[in-house]
Structure 1
Amino acid sequence: MKIGIVSDSHGGYQYLDTMLACKEAKNVKLWLFAGDIAMDADYLAMVTDKEVIRVAGNNDWPGGRLPDYETVDIAGHTILLTHGHLFGVNFGLNNLQQAALDVGADIAVYGHTHVAVEEMKGDVLILNPGSISRPRDASNGSFMVMDLQPDKSPCVKLIRI
């Protein structure tokens, strides 16, 4: 199953449109939105007619209409989806790794730092798609597409728009 991962759009619908125009986004069956700004996830769901699992980012407060994290089971994998700010991801990934282990997740997806990451930390694959609109690690925004199959390691691709 192809899963799109995006974060930190900060109101930039045009970046989501550019992302959706990429060939890699065409076969995505489900989107994970790792926070900042929640209305953008609503837009993504509307224009793609795909399910978008979303969590609150630090810029999505107050409001409380979204959870701080979600756990999702897909194709034999368990994913912890969070924005990351509550796990101190600016200072390292140990807390996020432990949170994933605590909920039985083998994949942790976060945002917040605006820097793309794909790192295996123990038994947890940790992913950050970077920011689609305000990257801090390159001049172009980014998102990820992950292919999940039962009993296989995830195949992840970072796409710059």
Structure 2
Amino acid sequence: MKVLIMSDSHGLTTEIDDIKNRHINEVDFMLHCGDSELSGESSELIAFKGVKGNCDYGSNLPDEIIEELGDYTLYMTHGHLYNVKATLMNLKYRALEINAKIACYGHSHIAGAEIIDGVLFINPGSIRLPVLRRQKTYAILDVENTLAKVTFYEVNGREVEELSRQFTLE
């Protein structure tokens, strides 16, 4: 099962469409981890499951989404309600509470993937305002049996190899 994950696009539209059109036939679904600053009904986001970020004023999007991804539960939130800029502990507790093996979030604009206490955390970074690197990024998660491959891409579709990693889900 393949999932496209993006976050923190902060008003961009052409770039969302470009990424969506590039991958729409290869992924099973698409997630936006918040701060799109677009209406949930916008044509750019219509193909995405999305959550509300701290900059999504007046949005009717939910604060969190729980999805079944094959044998695993995926949890998505923007991250501001869990203080992810300081620690992943609060987000980890929420993921463990709902038995999620994968937690997707944004807010910090810092791209990365890591396993903490059996939970795979994925922050796709930002396609507008990256932090700690120059590349504007999004990610694709590919889960097959217990193998989870997280591949990061720049907005232009070029892979960011130093961020891309494989994990074993338990």
Bin the TM-score by the shorter chain. Answer: 0.7 to 0.9
Contact 2:12 2:36 in 1 (8 A): no
Q: Is the 8 A contact 1:129 1:144 kept in 2?
A: yes
Separation in 1 of the partners of 2:39 and 2:125?
Answer: 16
Instruction: Map residues 17-32 of structure 1 onto 2, 5 A cutoff.
Output: 17-20=17-20, 22=22, 26-32=25-31
Match of 2:50 in 1: 54
Q: How many residues matched?
A: 154
For structure 1, the 5+ residue unaligned runs are none
Counterpart of 2:136 (choices 138, 141, 153) is 141
Deviates more, 1:66-75 or 1:13-22: 13-22
TM-score (norm 2): 0.82
Name the aligned partner's letter for residue 31 of structure 2. Answer: L
What secondary structure does 1:86 align onto? helix
Match of 1:131 in 2: 126
In the aligned structure 2, how far is the partner of 1:16 from the partner of 1:40?
A: 13
- Cα distance, 1:61 vs structure 2: 2.7
Distance (whole Å) between structure 2 residues aligned to residue 153 and residue 5 of structure 1: 17
Shift of 1:45: 4.1
* Structure 2 runs not aligned, ≥5 long: 156-170
* Structure whose residues are more often helix by fraction: 1
Q: After alignment, is 129-138 or 109-118 more displaced?
A: 129-138
Percent of counterpart pairs with the same letter? 33
CA contact (8 A) 1:10 1:40 kept: no
Q: Provide the residue aligned with 2:38 in structure 1.
A: 39
